[in-house]
Each structure stands twice: as structure tokens, then as C-alpha cells.
């Protein structure tokens, strides 16, 4: 719950500890979601302490407390995505509390998750994607070979960064990788010949073991590479090339999807490659393609220009 947070009563602290253990044991739950949920609960409990005469007993907390907390956050500037994360975190915790017999008012589970308009994915154009990949290919030491391999998997195989960093050597099959995606669902993702070449170069230069159950992507201290290090490498490349701020590791996955769409791949196949549970999520990329086509028509077609 954070080193700087005030201590909570033992019964709540114990429940939170068991909840955290349960989340750690849940396959498919990312560290990002887990940390976000824990932060939401910590903020909620401190909100209750400020607005009640001390922290109420867990069974005395009700739906109105959650609604007041979310309203307070909205007035403080929380956007819809943040509101959704806080709501989901509290709902998850109180669902666990109910399973432990520690919940008083079950209506607290009926708080609706705030809906928010999903922004269109922002992909790189072909020229910027090639420039980014070329920059990473110029590396000399093993960490640069590692980063080049990672970027090739994001850009050329459409992996999420968490999926790529979760790969072990036994998942590498040369022409494809076995990926554990959201919801612990497995899928096979083809790799580019470039990725296969980079893998060979990386293994030869990496000082750490490449046994079947060892991670493919090592950090310099001999632990699995952390996402923030990979994100920093992409940010440095972005600044070096003068690319816009939306060029992140996840934008590389968007670029993979939109490139397939432009090449005429059907949505079902793209859905399978990306590991989307719903085709509606994949259809989101068609909006990107239409938006870019409209922009091109407006810019280049004689009747598309405004006088």
C-alpha cells in the first residue's frame, strides 16, 4: 500500500495482503493493473478517513462512499480512463472481500464502471517506422542488440510490450513465438526474418544464460528486463529522430496492425495475431485507416481541398 501511507487496522491490512496475494496468483493480470488497483484502494481508504470520524469498519462502507470518492476525483481532474481504473480496482477488492465474508453491503459491487471514449490508435507511418528500426539496428553492444530485437517484435509481430518481456527461450520457435496474452490465452505470432537474425546476434553477445526457462530479455543486473527500461529506450530513439510523443512501444503494435490492414489482411486474421478477445476491438483500427484516407483525400484530391 506504499511506505508513506498511514497504517490501517489489522483486519483491513490483513485482507489487503490476502487480496494482493490473490492478484499475484491470477494469471493474465498485469503488474500495471495490480499496482493501479492497490493505489485506488489506498486512495479510497484515505478519502474515507478524511471524510469520516476515522476509518469506518469495512462492513460499514457502502456504495455511496464509493460514489463520493469518484465524484471527488472527478472534481480533482480525473479523466474518464482514470475514473474507470479506480472504479474497477475498488470493485475487484470488494468482490474479494465478499468472497472472504468481510463485506457488509453487496450494493457496493453495483457501482458502474465509468464509460469513456476510446481514442484512436496512433501508428507510425512507414517512413518513421523504418527510421526507428534502422536506428536500433546500428547498436554495437548486447543491450542494443536486445533492444533491436524487442522493437522488431513489437513492430513486426504486433506483441504487447508485456508479452514480449514475458517471453522465455522455450517460447522462441524461430519463425514464430508462443505468446501468453491477456486472460492467460496463448497464441502463436510469426516473426520476421529480421527478428530471427537479431535473435542470433543477441544470443551471441548476451552475457546471461539462454536456457529454456530463462527470459529472452535480460536487464543489465541479471533479472528480467523491466518495461520502463524498454520504454526509455524507445523514448530516446524518438527524441533522436525528432518523432512525436505518441511514438511509444504500444504505438509500434498499432503500426503493425494498421500496416496489415492497409495491405488487405482481413480483420479476423488481424484479431488472431493481436490476441484481441473481441472483433470490435480490432475493428477500431478500421477507423484509423478511414481517418488517414480522408486526410489524404483532403490534402491531395483537387475536390478535397477547401477554398
**Which residues are identified as catalytic?**
160, 182, 250, 253, 276, 285
DSSP reduced 3-state for 100: coil
Tell me the C-alpha distance between 307 and 296, whole Å.
16
What size, in residues, is the chain?
Answer: 307
Distances (CA, A) of 264 to 61, 64, 92, 156, 245: 53, 50, 40, 16, 28
**Burial of 75: CB neighbours in 10 Å, binned 0-12, 13-18, 19+:** exposed
Tell me the C-alpha distance between 262 and 123, whole Å.
12
Q: Residue 278 gets which letter from DSSP?
A: S
Tell me the C-alpha distance between 232 and 236, whole Å.
6
User: Do 163 and 180 touch, CB atoms closer than 8 A?
Assistant: yes
- Residue 155 sits at the vertex; the CA angle it makes with 154 and 156, to the nearest 5 degrees, is 100
Q: What Rg do the C-alpha atoms of the chain give, in angstroms?
A: 23
Q: How many CA atoms lie within 13 A of 248 on its CB side?
A: 10
Say which residue the cell 492478484 belongs to: 23
User: Do 59 and 104 touch, CB atoms closer than 8 A?
Assistant: yes
Say which residue the cell 518481456 belongs to: 165
Measured in degrees and rounded to the nearest 5, phi and psi for residue 248 equal -125, 170
Tell me the C-alpha distance between 106 and 129, whole Å.
50
Tell me the C-alpha distance between 227 and 161, whole Å.
7
Amino acid at each position: 500500500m506504499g511506505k508513506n501511507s498511514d497504517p490501517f487496522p489489522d483486519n483491513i491490512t490483513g485482507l489487503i495482503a490476502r487480496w494482493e496475494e490473490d492478484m499475484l496468483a491470477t494469471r493474465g493480470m498485469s503488474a500495471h493493473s495490480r499496482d493501479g488497483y492497490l493505489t485506488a484502494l489506498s486512495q479510497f481508504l484515505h478519502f474515507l478517513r478524511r471524510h469520516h470520524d476515522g476509518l469506518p469498519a469495512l462492513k460499514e462502507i457502502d456504495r455511496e462512499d464509493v460514489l463520493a470518492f469518484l465524484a471527488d476525483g472527478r472534481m480533482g481532474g480525473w479523466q474518464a480512463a482514470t475514473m474507470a481504473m479506480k472504479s474497477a480496482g475498488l470493485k475487484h477488492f470488494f468482490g474479494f472481500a465478499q468472497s472472504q465474508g468481510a463485506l457488509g453491503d453487496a450494493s457496493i459491487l453495483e457501482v458502474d464502471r465509468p464509460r469513456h471514449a476510446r481514442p484512436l490508435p496512433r501508428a507510425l507511418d512507414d517512413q518513421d517506422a523504418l527510421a526507428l528500426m534502422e536506428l536500433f539496428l546500428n547498436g554495437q553492444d548486447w543491450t542494443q542488440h536486445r533492444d533491436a530485437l524487442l522493437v522488431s517484435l513489437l513492430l513486426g509481430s504486433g506483441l504487447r510490450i508485456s508479452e514480449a518481456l514475458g517471453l522465455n527461450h522455450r517460447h522462441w520457435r524461430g519463425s514464430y513465438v508462443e505468446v501468453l496474452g491477456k486472460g492467460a490465452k496463448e497464441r502463436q505470432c510469426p516473426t520476421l526474418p529480421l527478428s530471427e537474425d537479431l535473435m542470433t546476434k543477441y544470443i551471441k553477445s548476451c552475457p546471461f544464460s539462454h536456457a529454456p526457462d530463462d527470459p529472452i530479455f535480460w536487464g543489465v543486473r541479471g533479472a528480467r528486463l523491466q518495461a520502463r527500461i524498454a520504454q526509455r529506450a524507445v523514448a530516446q530513439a524518438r527524441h533522436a529522430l525528432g518523432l512525436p510523443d505518441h511514438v511509444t512501444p504500444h504505438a509500434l503494435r498499432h503500426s503493425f496492425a494498421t500496416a496489415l490492414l492497409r495491405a488487405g489482411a482481413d480483420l479476423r486474421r488481424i484479431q488472431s495475431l493481436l490476441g484481441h478477445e473481441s472483433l470490435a476491438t480490432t475493428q477500431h483500427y478500421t477507423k484509423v485507416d478511414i481517418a488517414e484516407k480522408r486526410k489524404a483525400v483532403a490534402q491531395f484530391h483537387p475536390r478535397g481541398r477547401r477554398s
